[in-house]
Structure 1
């Protein structure tokens, strides 16, 4: 059984005062196996952010269902959703979402604090993660005292410290320079090599070329997908660029 199953998901928004209905997702179906690294690409307005919000249980589909480890997210009561997200999902955001009044360590600890974990357990989990991410010497610093790349490493630490089944990353390289972006993608590659399942929404062809599979969203539907297979990053980059060209000119799907 797949770790994540998305079955015929449709999302329709009603504009304020009920004046119009906007279909953000039309009929989206795909599955993600445990240990996969999937990038989701699409132009602004394609529906990829709506899809990510539904996968994150921050929004519910109008039709269809999303199953994580066989559990239908639609059937989780609203009062239980926050706890479900803390236990099963890790989030990495473009703007880091770190609290400036908390040290990096306290930011990383936050989901465990909310889950009622004791300091000894939190610290035991943190130390190997901090060493892996190269932020051990930064843990006492505050977000405004470190670089964007260091903030993102702290955000990754916060995402993985709960040992989530799935990491959801929303434009994680969007606020970083090229060196920090490369470093971040190296971290994702190592996490994935160790078995972590990752879904990353990105506009960056370079970022997507590091994934094992790329889903392309257009007009609220899965337009195409690419599997890495034996391709290197450069070949994957070229293949992604080719699909993006077809997307831009309105060409048909790859057969």
Structure 2
């Protein structure tokens, strides 16, 4: 059974006075196996952000269903959604979403604090993650005292500390310089190598070329996908670039 199943998801937004309807997603279906690393790409307006919000249980689809380990998200009561997200999902955002009044350590602890986890258990969970991410020596610092790359590593630590089934990353390299981007993508590859399932929305061809599979959205649906297979990162980069060029021109991509 796939870890994540997206079944014929549609999303229609109605304007404030109900006069106009905008179809953000028309018919999105795909699945993600446990341990996969999947990138989602598409032009602005293709539905990427809407889809990510639905997968994160931050929004509900108009029609269709999303299942995590066979459990439909629609069956989760509204009051239980925050706890569900903390327990099952990890989030990495473009703008880090760190609280400047909290140290990096306290930012990382936050989902565990909200879940009522014992402090000693939090310390035990953080130690190996901080060592792996190379941030053990800056945990007492505040977000405004560290670099963008270090902020993003703290954000990744916060995503990992709940041992999530799925990491959802929204343009994770978008606010980073090239060196920090490379380091983060290498880190994602290492995490995926340990079995962590990752789904990443990105505009970056370079970021997407690190994933094992790339889904392309157009007009609110999955229009094409590329498996990396045994291809090198450079070869996958070229394939993704070629596919985006064809899709932008309205043509049909090659398999």
TM class by smaller structure: over 0.9
For residues 15 and 7 of structure 1, the distance between their equivalents in structure 2, rounded to whole angstroms, comes to 25
2:173 is the counterpart of 1:173: yes
The equivalent residue for 2:61 is 61
Tell me, what secondary structure is at the counterpart of 2:254? coil
2:84 is aligned to: 84
Q: What is residue 207 of structure 1 aligned with on the other side?
A: 207
Task: Give, in whole Å, the separation in 1 of the partners of 2:20 and 2:252.
Answer: 30
**Following superposition of structure 1 onto structure 2, how do residues 126-145 of structure 1 map, counting pairs within 5 Å?**
126-145=126-145
Q: Secondary structure at the match of 1:120?
A: helix
Distance 2:3 2:241 in 1: 28
Q: Any residues of structure 2 matched to 1:100-115 within 5 Å, and which?
A: 100-115=100-115
What's the CA shift string for 1:183-224, capped at 9, x where partnerless? Answer: 000110000000000000000000000000000000101010
Aligned to 2:250: 250
Distance 1:75 1:14 in 2: 24
Distance in 2 (alpha carbons) for counterparts of 1:107 and 1:157: 9
CA distance in 2, matches of 1:25, 1:74: 17
What is the root-mean-square deviation in Å for CA atoms of aligned residues? Answer: 0.5
Q: Structure 2 CA distance, aligned partners of 1:167 and 1:254?
A: 30
Q: Secondary structure at the match of 1:30?
A: strand
**TM-score normalized with structure 1 length:** 0.99
Structure 1: tracts of 5 or more residues without a match: none
**TM-score, length-scaled by structure 2:** 0.99
Shift of 1:75: 1.1
Counterpart of 1:25 in structure 2 is 25
Determine the C-alpha separation between the residues in 2 that align with 1:101 and 1:46.
36
Q: Does 2:140 align with 1:117?
A: no
Counterpart residue number, 1:219: 219
CA distance in 2, matches of 1:129, 1:84: 22
Provide the rounded CA distance (Å) in 2 between the counterparts of 1:152 and 1:253: 34
Shift of 1:253: 3.8
1:148 maps to 148
Residue 236 (structure 1) shift: 0.4
Q: Is 1:50 the counterpart of 2:50 in the alignment?
A: yes
Q: How far is 1:254 from its partner? A: 2.8
C-alpha distance in structure 1 between counterparts of 2:195 and 2:208, whole Å: 18
* Cα offset, 1:252, TM superposition: 1.3
Matched, 1:233 2:233: yes
Structure 1 stretches of 4+ moved >2 Å:
none
**Partners of 1:57 and 1:23 in 2: CA distance:** 19
